[in-house]
Structure 1
Amino acid sequence: MSIFQSKKGRRTYFSSFALAAAALIAAPQMDASAAAGYSDVQESDTHFEAIQSLSDQGIIQGYEDGTFGQWEDVKRQHAAVMLAEAADAPVPDNVEQILNQYEDVDIDHMYADEIAAVTEAGIFRGNNGEFNPSASITRQQTASVLVPALNLGELDGESDEADVNLDNVHTSHDKNVQTLADFEITTQLDDFRPGESVSRGAFSTFIHRAQQLDGQENNGDGTDDGAEDTVSSEITLMHTNDIHAHLETMPQLAAAVENFRAEHPDSLLMNAGDMFSGTLYFNEFQGQAGLELMNLMNYDMMTFGNHEFDLGSSAEGHQALAEFVSNAEFPFVSSNLDFSQDDNLSGLFHDEMTEQPEDGEIYNSIVKEVNGEKVGVFGLTTSETADISSPADVSFEDYIESSQEAVDQFEEAGINKVVALTHIGYDDNPEYDNDLQLAEQVDGIDVIVGSHTHTELSEPDVVEGNSGEPTVIVQASQYGEFLGTLQVGFNDRGVVTEHQGELIEIGEQEENAEAADALAPYASQIEEVQNEESGGIAADPLPNPRLENGDDTSVRNSETKLGNLITDGMLAKAKEYNEETTAALQNGGGIRTSIDQGPITNGEIISVLPFGNTLATMEITGAELKEALEHSVSQVPEENGGFLHVSGMRYTYDSSNEAGNRVQSVEMEENGSYTPVKDDEQYVIATNAFTAKGGDGYEVFADIYDEGGVTDLGLSDWGNLRDYVAELGTVDPEIEERIVDVNNN
């Protein structure tokens, strides 16, 4: 029995298409007795043969006045009715929930069930929150729903590639228009007229020509001569991502895994990266506490997130990451990372596909058996890691090319079920990489288990790739708040035909006793560190504003009291080692939370600066400093993790100017007075090692680092802040107009 509750067995697309055509091309006012001989259809008309043939089969009918209306438009809602039947898409149990994504279709709509069905099946996707049911469907849109709904890309045999003009076809539709041309379903090769509405006559011709492929014809009685396209195999997955050392949720997560595994014992448990960085559990135990719980939960595999590389700038480099990998009781997959130059990790990496992965090793890709089916899995990490973390000697390869190579390897081995375990973001910056682009550009990926953008996909998304085949995308939010689950059904060609996904809320679970016991000694140590007072007392709360929280300004676009406190502490500590230091810079993205009023604990300080960065000094010219500040304010008023808080200096800018031409003035402080920065003068500034090495896209800093202009003092950023607030005693920073947008004055 299938894991899905389909309302009926699958048929081949021809009879389904024919039956559905009546629902689309017929209208409530049509005469049920009409067949051929329409007064407005002549033998010389382009679509005469198709209309005559389908009328003879009783598939289409005309209006009461004896006309057919061959030049009238087909509406999207009618296309949904037809394609729901053509694809044999079952009506989902949660129709109302699916329709919530559309502002113009609700549960009371005449075709609610069908629109929900084609949406869930990934055949139709709305636009800007609307389905536009009464809008006419264009010819290029028709191609992009016909191909996946009718599996036209999966027909047996090969066709010659037609020379069709795709210049005016949108790139999202060109592959499907090409498919219609290849199989001569369309003969409009010089100009497909992609933006025009598809007419009833043209739609009839599409049906008629599709029926003639491979000589298959509808029998006229609702049956056909094709073989059934049934669900022939199924796999089940569990997935987590972006836990960021929030181990307090792990005992409940373990309970959810145990419960789901009891019902689906042959399911895979996958981690899409970023177990490192974010809480004291990581700062104190550098991944080993989280790993003990992962091992207890019997994870099957993991890929690397960007934060797994946060310690790369330390003296030990990726030693802690290497220990995390080697102590794991599961393998790692990584297809676009080159570990060969990293002394700590190179010996753990195998640049190959394997069906027998060893625990504690890294593989390009692996093959697992699930429910008796071989499943290929490969892993990706965002190339943005080079800007936002510290990968050091680990380098990145093109993710599209790496993915295609992995898929090709699986196909050569006869494996047609492929999962990408990715840490590139659902819809993240397309200049780097993201899951949507991956699904669209690489054929042969059936499932993407994603992360990095912390996206809560309460239901799987389905993206149609170049081949017209669906790719199912899932992601389970962050911090272990959910256990993602996914069940996928495939036909005998390895194409996804059914899927069902759910996020299980962890807060509703009872703790797994064994996991709670394993966490207890770590939690006890963390509590001691968290509760230990630093010696500083905050006179008032020190917030960490973010636009996403409804604040008017953000730590990532404006001066804050907390940013001033941190940079003041950095400058004071740097002066102890180099008295020539005149200023300090702190990236806003590195400031992660606020400080409450009252005694400041170590736990609060570490939570504010959780990434284990060290203090560095940099020799920089005035011109280079101004270039860096231009990058800092380039996205204001939008947020930018690279926005720089400052101490020992002040600057003004105009956000109404174009990026790169915003900074108005830069001044250094000396003995309580300010003097303009000179372009050709050399300065010494302090910042964290991550920023000093070019993090957050600071190419000017990266160049200085490469030229030997950076000295890493090896002092932890949170330790510096702890010492500074202890020295202050009463902590009461102010907004001092160190950073001023003249456009707001």
Structure 2
Amino acid sequence: MHTNDTHAHLDNIAKRTTAIKNVRAKKPNSLLLDAGDVFSGTLYFNEFQGKADLEFMNLLRYDAMTFGNHEFDLGSSKEGHQALADFIKGANFPFISANVDFSADDRFKGLFTDLISSKPEKGKIYNGIIKEINGEKVGIFGLTTEETKDISSPGSIVFENYIKEAEKAVKAFEGQGVDKIIALTHIGYDDNAKIDNDLTLASTVKGIDVIVGGHSHTQLDEPVVIDQDNNNKTKDPTVIVQAYQYSDYLGNVDVEFDSKGKVITTNGELIKLSSLADDVEAANILKKYSDQIKEVSNKPIGAEALSELSNPRTSDTGPSVRNSETALGNIITDGMLAKARAQTKNNNIIMALQNGGGIRSGINAGEITVGEVITVLPFGNTLATMKLTGAELKQAFEISFKESPKESGGFLHVSGAKVEFDSLKPVGERVVSIKYKDTNETYVDIKDQESYTVATNAFTAKGGDKYDVFKKAYEEGRVTDLGLSDWENLAEHLASLKKIKPTLEGRIVDVKKGEDPDIRIPGAEFSGTTESPKVYNGNVIVDITDVASISNAIIKGNLIITGTVSEDIIISNIKVEGNLDLSAVKGDSDNSFENIEVTGETNI
């Protein structure tokens, strides 16, 4: 059995408990493994810092866990990795990761050993362990993505090459007579192959029979079998499994070996937890945590969202918090800029930046609660300021746009500035212009040789998401951590606004070789009101998935409507000074048009 990327989603832990008990009732010797990222993601983590998750993992008798990148999120906090060290010490199971070196952090002194153990102790870290299952020795080693140094806050903890360390682990197991080997990984199923992923691991390293993965949040409904190496030559099979995210599923895989330790059959599934009954014991334990969470979560902050502040994601190149301006990103950065200026008494801080990967959830329409705000910014980041030249700012935005139009967790949302780029140009040459608002409230161009002060979160300021230009500034002492909680800053800013109306302002525009930029917007953010219709200057692409209507807008360009619909959609009170295109809408439904004016052609 296996889980991964649960991210402190404990509301369904009683159902996970039921699923595990059901499997054990049929197969009592089943292993139970976790592929990392238990930390970060909900109020359960913010309030209890892993202790709630750990109580259930101990209850469920996990056999081993490897580390995900988010286990290292607290490294830049005042307490450093103390919560992680306490989590390890309190576990009734061992931790494994062959490519993570904890030796430079004193908090892990006595917990970490660079060995493979056949008699592992609970609450200790090993390269790998040997378990005996039905009289057979099974070797299990762990791997954590090398990208952790760029996307989390590991501090002095070092991440080594995953291929080399995997080869060492396999050799060590085989030297002890173990021919059934599991890699418990947090490197991603098909993540960036230039860094690390399970597919590359399976085709490169001989001797791995099963890879239980995480990090990419991949839903592998059935095991994937890799039986060819990098040269397309036949190899012994390697089975890869991964169980999506947030404890939505329990993964379960059975593997049969021949007498030489070669995989001959495999059968696996993802058990959907939502359909299962709650385990009574687990539900009772959860209550002591959930009662506290509800009390914190339901506390109003004194602000109301007049419509949803969405946090879109995409599987391709559609609008996303990681590739496009969003109303929520605008509000977050506005709050950062205001707080940084007020705290430092320095109105010359010209802009604020927030990485899209750090914005984890949206905010529903209506009264905004503490719980919602913390879920938006769950990583415990603090506000920081940086001194940069105009040339360095340009370098930073080149990094921000390098994956465009694909998603990038390092995509920068901005306040106090307007940035234009061209996603059709080569990487490193995409920034067209960067303008900031001067003391006269006029947008002026950044100058390469001038020095500027900007605000961001401490993770980004220290070079997270591979912002080497920021890392250099940090190492040179040009970063000041103000020590102010990001979610508290956001809550304060929202409360100051009281009534929140989501708006896109053209702060970040892809000009695409001088064409009118496409404005990409989710359907929930598209509409204005009868008295005050929204005006869009340029072509608009609106995704109407999961909305019942769009209305009250003026489009000074083409309007392209996309998305998948299951119910009839009402499109009303819209003026299009160009073409209207609905050909990309999918689903069985009828569209109802009321008071639509189109200057150009209509394509349905």
TM-score where L is the length of structure 2: 0.82
Contact residue 538 and residue 597 of structure 1 kept, 8 A? yes
Q: SS at 1:528's partner residue?
A: helix
| CA–CA separation in structure 1 for the residues paired with 2:14 and 2:484 | 34
After TM superposition, give the deviation of residue 675 of structure 1 in Å. Answer: 1.9
Contact residue 443 and residue 465 of structure 1 kept, 8 A? no
Q: SS at 1:437's partner residue?
A: helix
The corresponding residue for 2:175 is: 412
Matched residue type, 1:617: T
Q: SS at 2:137's partner residue?
A: strand
The corresponding residue for 1:709 is: 478
Q: 1:657 aligns with which of 411, 416, 425?
A: 425
| CA–CA separation in structure 2 for the residues paired with 1:559 and 1:297 | 42
| CA–CA separation in structure 2 for the residues paired with 1:474 and 1:546 | 24
Q: Deviations over 1:522-548 (max 9, x none)?
A: 101111111100111223321222234
1:594 partnered with 2:362:
yes
1:740 partnered with 2:509:
yes
The corresponding residue for 1:483 is: 250
More deviation, 420-429/705-714: 705-714
After TM superposition, give the deviation of residue 345 of structure 1 in Å. Answer: 2.1
The 5-angstrom pairing of residues 107-186 of structure 1 reads none
Contact residue 317 and residue 405 of structure 2 kept, 8 A? no
The corresponding residue for 1:558 is: 324
1:433 partnered with 2:196:
yes
Q: SS at 1:492's partner residue?
A: coil
The corresponding residue for 1:354 is: 117
The corresponding residue for 2:337 is: 571
After TM superposition, give the deviation of residue 742 of structure 1 in Å. Answer: 1.9
1:319 partnered with 2:82:
yes
After TM superposition, give the deviation of residue 733 of structure 1 in Å. Answer: 4.8
Q: Deviations over 1:331-369 (max 9, x none)?
A: 000100011111222431011111111111101111111
1:667 partnered with 2:435:
yes
Contact residue 255 and residue 511 of structure 1 kept, 8 A? yes
Q: 2:279 aligns with which of 506, 512, 515?
A: 512
Matched residue type, 2:93: F
1:539 partnered with 2:300:
no
| CA–CA separation in structure 2 for the residues paired with 1:508 and 1:723 | 39
Q: SS at 1:242's partner residue?
A: coil
The 5-angstrom pairing of residues 560-639 of structure 1 reads 560-578=326-344, 579=346, 580-639=348-407
After TM superposition, give the deviation of residue 721 of structure 1 in Å. Answer: 0.3
1:472 partnered with 2:229:
no
Q: Deviations over 1:67-125 (max 9, x none)?
A: xxxxxxxxxxxxxxxxxxxxxxxxxxxxxxxxxxxxxxxxxxxxxxxxxxxxxxxxxxx
The 5-angstrom pairing of residues 449-468 of structure 1 reads 449-466=212-229, 468=235
1:385 partnered with 2:142:
no
Runs (4+) of structure 1 moved beyond 6 Å? none
After TM superposition, give the deviation of residue 315 of structure 1 in Å. Answer: 1.3
Q: SS at 2:375's partner residue?
A: helix
Matched residue type, 2:307: D
The 5-angstrom pairing of residues 43-82 of structure 1 reads none
Q: SS at 1:624's partner residue?
A: helix
After TM superposition, give the deviation of residue 377 of structure 1 in Å. Answer: 0.6
Q: SS at 1:627's partner residue?
A: helix
Q: Deviations over 1:567-605 (max 9, x none)?
A: 010011111232142210001111122112221111111
1:288 partnered with 2:51:
yes
Q: Deviations over 1:240-289 (max 9, x none)?
A: 11101110111100111111111111111100101011111111111111
The corresponding residue for 2:187 is: 424
Q: Deviations over 1:148-179 (max 9, x none)?
A: xxxxxxxxxxxxxxxxxxxxxxxxxxxxxxxx
Matched residue type, 2:278: E
- Give the aligned CA root-mean-square deviation in angstroms: 1.4
Contact residue 146 and residue 196 of structure 2 kept, 8 A? yes
Contact residue 465 and residue 471 of structure 1 kept, 8 A? no
| CA–CA separation in structure 1 for the residues paired with 2:287 and 2:5 | 22
The corresponding residue for 1:115 is: none
Q: SS at 1:468's partner residue?
A: strand
| CA–CA separation in structure 1 for the residues paired with 2:110 and 2:336 | 37
Matched residue type, 2:73: D
Q: SS at 1:712's partner residue?
A: strand
Matched residue type, 1:279: T
The corresponding residue for 1:369 is: 132
Matched residue type, 1:661: E
| CA–CA separation in structure 2 for the residues paired with 1:457 and 1:484 | 9
Contact residue 545 and residue 554 of structure 1 kept, 8 A? yes
- Structure with greater strand percent: 2
Q: 1:685 aligns with which of 454, 459, 471?
A: 454
| CA–CA separation in structure 1 for the residues paired with 2:334 and 2:321 | 16
Matched residue type, 1:610: P
1:529 partnered with 2:292:
no
TM-score where L is the length of structure 1: 0.67
The corresponding residue for 2:600 is: none
1:720 partnered with 2:489:
yes
| CA–CA separation in structure 2 for the residues paired with 1:420 and 1:547 | 29
Q: SS at 2:93's partner residue?
A: coil
| CA–CA separation in structure 2 for the residues paired with 1:740 and 1:686 | 21
Matched residue type, 1:324: F
The corresponding residue for 1:131 is: none
Matched residue type, 1:350: T
The 5-angstrom pairing of residues 192-231 of structure 1 reads none
Q: Deviations over 1:276-309 (max 9, x none)?
A: 1111111111111111111111111100011111
| CA–CA separation in structure 2 for the residues paired with 1:669 and 1:508 | 53
| CA–CA separation in structure 2 for the residues paired with 1:598 and 1:501 | 43
C-alpha change, 1:465 and 1:367, in structure 2 (3 Å) is farther
Which stretches in structure 2 are left out of the alignment for 5+ residues? 517-604
Matched residue type, 1:566: I
Contact residue 616 and residue 713 of structure 1 kept, 8 A? yes
Contact residue 530 and residue 602 of structure 1 kept, 8 A? yes
Matched residue type, 1:696: D
Matched residue type, 1:558: S
Q: 1:397 aligns with which of 153, 157, 160?
A: 160
| CA–CA separation in structure 2 for the residues paired with 1:720 and 1:432 | 34
| CA–CA separation in structure 2 for the residues paired with 1:504 and 1:375 | 24
The corresponding residue for 1:648 is: 416
Q: SS at 1:290's partner residue?
A: helix
Q: 1:253 aligns with which of 5, 16, 35?
A: 16
Q: SS at 1:691's partner residue?
A: helix
C-alpha change, 1:317 and 1:249, in structure 2 (3 Å) is same
| CA–CA separation in structure 2 for the residues paired with 1:393 and 1:433 | 21
Matched residue type, 2:386: M
Matched residue type, 2:494: V
| CA–CA separation in structure 1 for the residues paired with 2:324 and 2:135 | 56
Q: SS at 1:675's partner residue?
A: strand
The corresponding residue for 1:200 is: none
Contact residue 307 and residue 502 of structure 2 kept, 8 A? no
After TM superposition, give the deviation of residue 514 of structure 1 in Å. Answer: 1.0
| CA–CA separation in structure 1 for the residues paired with 2:298 and 2:446 | 43
Matched residue type, 2:291: S
